[in-house]
Amino acid sequence: MKTIPVVKEILNANDQIAEENDDLLKSHQIFALNLMASPGAGKTTFILATCNRLPPALRPGVIEGDLASSIDADKISARGIPVVQINTGGGCHLDAPMIRSALPQLPLNDITLLFIENVGNLVCPANFKLGSDLNIVVASVPEGHDKPYKYPTMFVAANAVILNKADMIEVFEFDVDYFRRGVQMVNPNAPIFIVSSKTGAGLDDWITWLAQQAAPKG
């Protein structure tokens, strides 16, 4: 069985569409984030907490990826944020064709910052480009401090790492230094933001960095 060439063909086709997505987003001056995490890390809550604190120039939209249901998309829509739901029907990640289908359903002329909430998984999403500007990995305290060691491929792909639910560090005896060393071992250039979407702690530093990244270059 020649499986490797087939996989390469799939990834190459995906990457081509990802480039087209990137071109479309840039033509509308939209900065896009691909948020990846395991289930329960708090991606949706983190997105909402971020949106509540964004400067006026960053007008958000969201593409919500889940195996099934529209629970998270409904939460986002209730805040008045444009959102499109993608249900993968069992697929463990979003891919570029899915994003291509979702983009026309958003008011692209009214959005300057797009959050793509990928399907909860710490393996598959790292392999599929979507056309985003940055890959953001959201880890959470209850998951444990060993995630960078167990899932290095995901953290290698990150442009920034969010450690969410920081208000629970003491409860779970989370070793922040051990976690930080694990991230820096595989990706020394990725900034790490320790935040609590519940209390707002650490979000100002994250949003300052995000605004700098999203600012027009040149």
Look up residue 214 and give its amino acid. Answer: A
Q: How far apart are CA 34 and CA 72, in angstroms?
A: 16
Q: What pLDDT was estimated at residue 126? A: 87
Q: What domains lie within the chain, and their CATH numbers? A: 3-214 (3.40.50.300)
Look up residue 208 and give its amino acid. Answer: T
Nearest residue to 181 via CA among 154, 147, 204? 147
Q: What pLDDT was estimated at residue 170? A: 98
CA angle 194, 82, 104 (to 5 degrees): 115
Task: Give yes or no for a contact between 47 and 35, defined as CB atoms under 8 angstroms apart.
Answer: yes
Q: What pLDDT was estimated at residue 10? A: 64
- Locate 57 and state its tokens: 């120039």
Q: What is the pLDDT along the chain (218 residues), one digit of tens a residue?
A: 444 464 566 678 999 999 999 999 999 999 999 999 999 999 999 999 999 999 999 999 999 999 899 999 999 999 999 999 999 988 899 999 999 999 999 999 999 999 999 999 988 898 899 999 999 999 999 999 999 999 999 999 999 999 999 999 999 999 999 999 999 999 999 999 999 999 999 999 999 999 999 998 76
Q: Are strands 113-117 and 83-87 parallel, antiparallel or unpaired?
A: unpaired
Q: Find the helix or strand (DSSP H, E) in which 13 lies.
A: helix 3-27
140 three-class SS:
strand
Q: What pLDDT was estimated at residue 8? A: 67
Q: Per DSSP, what are the bridge partners of residue 35?
A: 117, 136
Q: What pLDDT was estimated at residue 1? A: 41
Task: Give yes or no for a contact between 215 and 133, defined as CB atoms under 8 angstroms apart.
Answer: no
Q: Per DSSP, what are the bridge partners of residue 61?
A: 114
Q: What pLDDT was estimated at residue 218? A: 63
Q: Maximum Cα–Cα distance for the chain, whole Å?
A: 54
Q: Per DSSP, what are the bridge partners of residue 183?
A: none
Q: How far apart are CA 35 and CA 120, in angstroms?
A: 9
